[in-house]
Amino acid sequence: MRITGGKARGIQLKVPRGVKTRPAADVIREALFSSLGSRVDGQSFLDLFAGTGAYGLEAWSRGARGGLFVEKGKDSIDCLTENIRRVGKSAQLDESLVSAKRADVFRWRAPSTEKFDFVFADPPYGLYPEVQIDLFRIAAALVHPDGFFILEKPARLAISSPGWVGVNEVGKSKGDGPSIAIFQRSSVAKADS
Q: What's 55's domain CATH number?
A: 3.40.50.150
Residue 103: predicted pLDDT: 96
* Residue 8 placed within a domain: no
Residue 15 belongs to some domain of the structure: no
- Residue 85 maps to a domain: yes
Instruction: Name the DSSP letter for residue 121.
Output: E
Domain membership of residue 2 (yes or no) is no
**Contact indicator for 135, 151 with CB cutoff of 8 Å:** yes
**In a domain? residue 119:** yes
Q: pTM for the full model? A: 0.92
pLDDT tens across 99-147, in order?
999 999 999 988 778 899 999 999 988 888 888 899 999 999 999 999 9
Contacts of 31 (CB under 8 A, 6+ apart): 170, 171, 180
Q: Domain total for the chain?
A: 1
Q: What angle do CA 147, 87, 108 make, to 5 degrees?
A: 50
Q: Is residue 137 part of a domain?
A: yes
Q: pLDDT 10s per residue in the chain (193 long)?
A: 899 999 999 999 999 886 555 566 888 899 999 999 999 999 999 999 999 999 999 999 999 999 999 999 999 999 999 999 999 999 999 999 999 999 999 999 887 788 999 999 999 888 888 888 999 999 999 999 999 999 999 989 988 899 999 999 998 888 778 899 999 999 876 556 5
What residues pair up with 151 in beta bridges, in sequence order? 121, 181
Range of the domain at 128: 26-192
- State the pLDDT at residue 61: 97
- Count of Cβ atoms closer than 10 Å to residue 91 Cβ: 17
pLDDT given for residue 189 in this prediction = 62
Torsion sign over Cα 68, 127, 26, 186: negative
